[in-house]
Structure 1
Amino acid sequence: MAHLLKPIMLGILTSLFAVACTGKTANNLTHQQNQSATSPSATPSECQTIQHNLGETQICGQPQKVVVLGPNLLELLLTLEVQPVGYADYFPLPYHEFDQPGQQIPYLGERVTSQPTNVGTWSAPSLEAIAKLKPDLILGTIEANQKEYPLLSQIAPTLLLNYAPDKGWEQQLREIANILQRSQQAEEMIAAHEQRLAAVGKEFKSITNVYPKVLLLAFDQLDQNLQIESSNNFCGSLIEELGFQLVSLPSSEKSQQTSNLVSLEVLPQLDADLIIVQGRDKDFSNPAKDPVNHQLKNVKQQWNNNEIAQSMRASKEGRVYFTTAYLCRALPGPIGTEIFLEQLRQMLLDPQ
């Protein structure tokens, strides 16, 4: 990210925003700029100060033009039925504009009705592209955007959230909803989500009674980067919530990580009724490829052609299923939950 801090970038930002004042913080500058951009008639009583890990951000009026850095935050924005003007995915998607988002943005694209500008990646956003959009709110993550925060804050009020919050996506949805003045909608969505999970758990009871043990794996290269996913993984936690038991390493080999790297030779020691494989592929450079199925094709071939993988009981009995690591790691909120539950239903309750 060092290149972002070069004087030339600072010059670009300065010329874009005519920030020539001294003795003022980035947040003070942001507040002054945003009063005219977001709500010209906003009074002090209509402004709110948001406390966060990097300080505080003052937001006046109701933001209308939101740039979002990361699919985990786009998911929450769409849950509130707010459309972005700019978006950065985890991977460098090969589009300048998402003019056909349903075909260009993995999983969430069908819910995007705007044509947001591609502003880079979540960890390397283009400050120039963001500035040209003149947003009145930027949403990002501390893990990916902390270094850019001072510059992002000069463009617009910026809120950085934790990628994996201790209190879950519900708290983050409430924070974003409060800023966007959609708190009631957020509470309704959270309540509906909880009811949905309870209902789905009953649907899967017939499966969990017969096939209780699930081995959740992730890899791009089966013989090199094989990982056993734990309940700290979003999909792993959902599987347990439905009543399944996650198969794991012996306690002496466990860690508190989201996943544990293992060798392929360990697999026969892990008896499972069902195996769910999360496929990974970081190559999104070819716009002609389906971004979802592209992640699965090579992984399926490796599994089907590997002698050790095929020796496992679940493989022999035809109970190995595939999803993407992107879904399980990038979308840990209500939309990702709905998509994964529907996948599980098709895999286990309505197999073709």
Structure 2
Amino acid sequence: MRISRLTQGLMACLLIACSTVLRAAPIDINDGQHSVHLPAAPQRVVVLEFSFLDSLAAVGVTPVGAADDGDAKRVLPRVREAIGQWRSVGLRSQPSIEEIARLKPDLIIADLNRHQALYKDLSSIAPTLLLPSRGEDYAGSLASAELIGKALGKPEQMAARIAQNRAHLKEIAQQIPGGAVVLFGVAREDSFSVHGPHSYAGSVLQAIGLKVPEVRANAAPTEFVSLEQLLALNPAWLLVGHYRHPSIVDGWSKQPLWQVLSAVQHQQVAEVDGDTWARNRGVMASEQIAEDTLAILKGGKAVQSQ
């Protein structure tokens, strides 16, 4: 049966109207602290942590603003490429309320750890989600990504991206000799902090089948250690993210005790990008960390962020 052009036009209009209604449907979400009501899927989003940028990139959403410490290069390159340009609203630790307000957001995503004291100010500007990011592990970051997907009106798209992420890490795990003891740490000028099994990077390493030593029972996710304490951990592989050179590790490498480390003796010390491994979290960050690890343990060279 042939359908007239008029009927076709009416059907097309009906489909457009239905899709508009669906897009405009309100969204109610609980972030664990507050119930947040969004009249419709937000179009102007401001995020205050790198992991939230990662979540937006995972579903193709560009924020109008982000707390980026005034240095967009700290954000994972693949995230920057996916979302394009945004306006900086200052430091992650102390974002500018005035800059956020100027952007007229319809959703703000803030870090429960960093920004709880700012919640009243932020929520007076726009509906605000407080989600854990700083100090969160791999599983926790995916849970936050799921909530962000719902808040953006893209729950199915986010679920599919997370499933792809898990499959990708599983594939990498199958290519890495299981059970190797690997430790990541951040080297500053005068300190070295190891990221244990409960840290973000440590939990990603565990997700791909590696063992991550703990400084002590019930240790914090990251712990500052001396060279002697590092020797007591004595990982088979030591991955170092230098925030800048020279760092404390540059000095340690000239000491006799450094040469006793198993990783040093077997030439299994590698440099990774400190921003990627320590400051970024999320779907894309976990894939970058896993891919870097595979490249290093298989004898290649880690991808360095620029």
* Aligned mates of 1:160, 1:273 — CA distance in 2: 38
Residue matched to 1:258: 221
In 2 relative to 1, CA 347–129 (structure 1 residues): closer, same or farther, beyond 3 Å? same
* Aligned mates of 1:296, 1:350 — CA distance in 2: 24
* Aligned mates of 1:113, 1:189 — CA distance in 2: 15
In 2 relative to 1, CA 298–191 (structure 1 residues): closer, same or farther, beyond 3 Å? same
Secondary structure of the residue aligned to 1:111 is: helix
In 2 relative to 1, CA 312–118 (structure 1 residues): closer, same or farther, beyond 3 Å? same
Secondary structure of the residue aligned to 2:89 is: strand
| Residue pairs, 1:293-332, within 5 angstroms | 295=244, 298=247, 301-332=250-281
Task: Show CA shifts across 1:235-257 (max 9, x none).
Answer: 212222323222344xxx43331
Secondary structure of the residue aligned to 1:314 is: helix
Secondary structure of the residue aligned to 2:194 is: strand
Identity of aligned residues (%): 25
| Residue pairs, 1:95-174, within 5 angstroms | 103=73, 105-108=75-78, 110-163=80-133, 164=135, 168-174=140-146
Q: Which amino acid aligns with 1:245?
A: K
After TM superposition, the structure 1 stretch with the greater mean CA deviation from structure 2, 151-160 or 266-275, is: 266-275
In 2 relative to 1, CA 346–82 (structure 1 residues): closer, same or farther, beyond 3 Å? same
Task: Show CA shifts across 1:99-118 (max 9, x none).
Answer: xx5x5745455324432111
* Aligned mates of 2:93, 2:165 — CA distance in 1: 29
Structure 1 residue 197 corresponds to structure 2 residue 176: no
In 2 relative to 1, CA 68–200 (structure 1 residues): closer, same or farther, beyond 3 Å? same
Q: Which amino acid aligns with 1:276?
A: L
Match 2:231 to one of 268, 284, 288: 268
Q: Which amino acid aligns with 1:328?
A: W
Shift of 1:203: 0.6
Residue matched to 2:285: 336
* Aligned mates of 1:126, 1:108 — CA distance in 2: 26
- Contact 2:27–2:41, Cα closer than 8 Å, also in 1: no
Residue matched to 1:6: none
Secondary structure of the residue aligned to 1:321 is: strand
Residue matched to 2:185: 217
Match 1:64 to one of 43, 55, 58: 43
* Aligned mates of 2:232, 2:62 — CA distance in 1: 47
* Aligned mates of 1:309, 1:107 — CA distance in 2: 33
Secondary structure of the residue aligned to 2:54 is: helix
Q: What's the TM-score, normalizing by structure 1? A: 0.70
* Aligned mates of 1:332, 1:176 — CA distance in 2: 14
Task: Show CA shifts across 1:156-197 (max 9, x none).
Answer: 111111225585122212211112111111111111112112
Structure 1 residue 243 corresponds to structure 2 residue 195: no
Match 2:66 to one of 87, 104, 107: 87
Matched positions, count: 279
Secondary structure of the residue aligned to 1:58 is: strand
In 2 relative to 1, CA 154–191 (structure 1 residues): closer, same or farther, beyond 3 Å? same
- Contact 1:229–1:259, Cα closer than 8 Å, also in 2: yes
Shift of 1:325: 4.2
In 2 relative to 1, CA 264–159 (structure 1 residues): closer, same or farther, beyond 3 Å? same
Q: Which amino acid aligns with 1:147?
A: A
Shift of 1:145: 1.4
* Aligned mates of 1:105, 1:55 — CA distance in 2: 28
Secondary structure of the residue aligned to 1:115 is: coil
Task: Show CA shifts across 1:46-98 (max 9, x none).
Answer: 32332234432221112111111010111111111101110102x343xxxxx
Secondary structure of the residue aligned to 1:149 is: helix
* Aligned mates of 2:93, 2:25 — CA distance in 1: 32
Shift of 1:296: 6.1
Secondary structure of the residue aligned to 1:203 is: coil
- Contact 1:84–1:114, Cα closer than 8 Å, also in 2: no
* Aligned mates of 1:87, 1:213 — CA distance in 2: 36
Q: Which amino acid aligns with 1:231?
A: P
Shift of 1:126: 1.0
Secondary structure of the residue aligned to 1:200 is: helix
Shift of 1:142: 1.6
* Aligned mates of 1:308, 1:247 — CA distance in 2: 19
In 2 relative to 1, CA 219–171 (structure 1 residues): closer, same or farther, beyond 3 Å? same
- Contact 1:296–1:323, Cα closer than 8 Å, also in 2: no
> Is there any run of 5+ residues in structure 1 with no aligned partner, and where?
1-40, 94-100, 282-294
- Contact 2:26–2:41, Cα closer than 8 Å, also in 1: no
Q: What's the TM-score, normalizing by structure 2? A: 0.80
* Aligned mates of 2:171, 2:238 — CA distance in 1: 23
| Residue pairs, 1:8-19, within 5 angstroms | none
